Chain A
Amino acid sequence: MSVMKKAEEITASGAREYLTFRLDQEEYGIDILKVQEIRGYEPPTRIANAPEFIKGVVNLRGTIVPIVDMRIRFNCAQADYNTFTVVIILNLHQRVVGIVVDSVSDVMELASGSVRAAPDIESAIDNSCIIGLGSVGERMLILLDIEKLMSSVEMGLVAVDE
């Protein structure tokens, strides 16, 4: 998908609300409609032979939910677990997934005009999972297509058909 086309999609759909969270020094935004709830971190049950960033599974009111640590996935320097560590529970395509982030900042409405296409840059994730860059005052938000990111093969959350 071309950069231009991505930008156009945003323009077409107008303003959107994003939940912003921090990973180390970077600030990210994801579509608020994909967020089910925000919880404190509790130690999950480890799953053997899973990638390092999959911390395991937790019990969310009777549902078994896998927990992905985004800090490990995005190669952050530190990934501590303390009382401020939060888990964002996402509801994607009938699947429930939790992501661990350093902190949740706020919910922001971004008009289509303030979202710019992301330049082709080297990063820990596939570029197509980045919708664009949003600027709010002096801050820069990296807007993620969280659904696409979570369902990508390298996340290891879905079984790969052999």
Chain B
Amino acid sequence: MAETYQEGSGSGADFDLSQFYQIFFEEAGENLDQMEQMLLNLDLASANDEELNGIFRCAHSIKGGSATFGFADVAELTHQMESLLDRLRRHELQPIPQMVDVLLESADASRSLLARHQAGEQGEAISTTDLVLRISELVAGRVPGGAAPAPLAQAPAPVVAAAAPAPAFAPALTVSAGQPRQLQIQIGPLERPEQADAIKELFRDIPGLGSISDLPTSDPATRRFAVETTSTNDDLLDLFAFHVAKEQVSISDGLTAGVSLSAAAPQAGQGGDAAGLSYGFFHDAPGAPGAPGAPTEAAAVPVAAVSAAAGAKAPVPKAAAEPRAQSPAQMESTTIRVAVNKVDQLINLVGELVITQAMLAQNSRGLDAGAYQQLLAGLADLDRNTRDLQESVMSIRMIPMSIVFSRFPRMLRDLANKLGKKVDFVTLGEATELDKGLVEKITDPLTHLVRNSCDHGIEMPAERLAKGKPEHGTITLSASHQGGSIVIEVRDDGKGLSREKILRKALERGLDVSEHMSDADVWQLIFAPGFSTAEVVTDVSGRGVGLDVVKRNIAALNGSVEIDSAEGYGMRVSVRLPLTLAIMDGMSVGVGDEVYILPLSSVVESFQVNAEDVSTVAQGSQLVKVRDEYMPVIALEKIFQVPRLDPSKSSSIMVVVEADGSRVALLVDELLGQHQVVVKNLESNYRKVPNVSGATILGDGTVALILDTGGLVRRARH
């Protein structure tokens, strides 16, 4: 990204970049997510260098990208963030909560800015002036509205530590003498002097290269820098060659620089602030000559001693010296971004391969094992390989739940702050994998449940203490595999559901309830539309809008929701989902010569029907009595106009299905079995068919329609 930026700053306007916009937005989004995550995980007391560097890299990438694409507002904001982060990672400032706050807010602001750019500059402009101001205050070491400024730089020692480790990192480059040299570098005259500025970035990006600062020049087309480095002139020239032609660089020994240094020496007393600024990218700071001033002390110290001293004083910089291969930035290169439709195509092809393989297996069954030994052995291999292939391909679509879970710490932090509650957030089973399509759809319902737990479940700290509970409430989000489904639980140790309160509210709202309902049935009441027991409606939740939506959304994914609660101890909401949308458990039923698939999740029971249990109501619709309940009967034969070739067969089996909370009995000829079916879309080549939710391909290669139980139930009720 850094390279992109440098090239872009010189020649970005010359060609059309819009084709890369989408990639940039995606990348920036990921970087923001990553940064947010790292900020939240940041341990303020002992911030790890690798973490700080990681956060810095994210901000830096976004800055680079947005500047390349001409989103100046984002670039400006992220640049400010970068300055603050730069000082943090150099240990010139001690991280404080205010910084995390302001950085999180800036990340949000960048997100909105980017969203606005992505939408083609529509909507209201977003002002970042305030944020920029707050960051610059923090950069300057002042805490806005707060006490204790915490720049470490006041003490001279850390400055030495920050500058001195340079030789320790240097193995990346050839070290000449091992001792830092003072050089003066003149570049130019250049057509675009900005190119030279890229060189300053080199010094910042390559650990151990040394330090650089601006020197005044008389000619605007040239640039002069004072450099302190351990690298040889040749190495430097090679490096600079990325940005400017070798012929335009002249390196002279630091004598003259030394003169200018001694002239600037009184300024060195200003301390680390100035030194820190000189590292900054855009800071052509007046105090810059002070930077080499401090390291002069270090230069006199033997290398070994310096690195040992650095190790003792600040063990953290050593961590940064470890090979970059272990950093998250390098991890990314082991993944590739692929369009979803390519993966889907692959899955389709493999599905087809499986069917072909099944057909071959079937056809070869009658063959003589002696005569066709090789063929049969080959088919057995094919069988195993297709199975493995199918499994691997299906796993491409699966992504870990951590993608969903990672949204919550931030949301809960803000929410808890707003509500004045103290909440610890625990996640379990982040590695549990789920189909990407499901992950996207489950995020909103889960968000709702977590907010609900925080708002309604967890009590105020004082109340918790009074009850003898720890001041911090805990919300646990866990995911696990159970059989063919994934179970996601949202658990809190808050006040739990109150049976009486819910029953009272339900009576007020005229719902059909009784004192003798089971707990589970009572808890289900909170999913009724418009139901809320919250005494105060907040802007977070309590309006009773939502839980019914949550339940409906989850039901739409063939999932279910269960609640478990004990008053005073908390509650648990379990969401059970199929592993993938593309595959579902189906029950195949036969009607006439046709086969239909019912989603197994909606099947309640099936039974042989007796003629006397079926009664007809005046309009001609039938009802069946199941135990003490009457439910409407839908004859599949009728609604699908199944031709009857064999009049001796008739429908005598009822399958009770449940959808949207009500049940109907489907009349079918026979039950054929249960199996996993791959759900295919009918609408991609045809159109929506009433009462049918999709199609699937059976083992023999023919197509069977999957029934839309929700539609059938609705049909029966009208």
A residues near B, CB below 8 A?
44-50, 56-59, 61-66, 95-97, 156-159
Contact = CB atoms under 8 A, between A and B. Distances in A.
A50 B642 CA distance: 12
B695 A64 contact: yes
A97 B687 CA distance: 12
Looking at B681, B682, B687, which has the most chain A CB atoms within 10 Å of its CB?
B687
Interface stretch (B165-173, B344-352, B469-477): B344-352
Contacts of B680: 62-64
A59 B351 CA distance: 11
A157 B686 CA distance: 6
A144 B683 CA distance: 25
Interface in B277-300: none
A45 B705 contact: yes
A115 to B, nearest CB: 30
Contact of B687 (A48, A59, A96, A157): A157
Contacts, number: 71
Interface residues of B, number: 30
Contacts of A61: 348-349, 352
Contacts of B692: 47
Given A62-B352, A62-B697, A63-B348, A48 B640 contact: yes
A47 to B, nearest CB: 6
A157 B685 CA distance: 8
Given A48-B641, A49-B641, A58 B685 contact: no
B682 A64 contact: yes
A115 B701 CA distance: 42
Nearest to B687: A159
Contacts of B424: none
Interface in B663-680: 680
Looking at B640, B681, B686, which has the most chain A CB atoms within 10 Å of its CB?
B686
Given A64-B681, A97-B685, A157-B686, A45 B704 contact: yes
A57 B349 contact: no
B157 interface: no
A152 B689 CA distance: 18
Contacts of A64: 680-682, 684-686, 695, 697, 703
Given A49-B690, A64-B695, A59 B701 contact: yes
19 contacts: A45-B704, A47-B705, A48-B640, A48-B641, A49-B641, A57-B682, A58-B702, A59-B355, A59-B697, A59-B702, A62-B352, A62-B355, A63-B685, A64-B703, A65-B685, A66-B686, A95-B685, A97-B685, A159-B683
A91 to B, nearest CB: 10
A64 B686 CA distance: 8
Nearest to B678: A62
Nearest to B694: A64
A44 B697 CA distance: 12
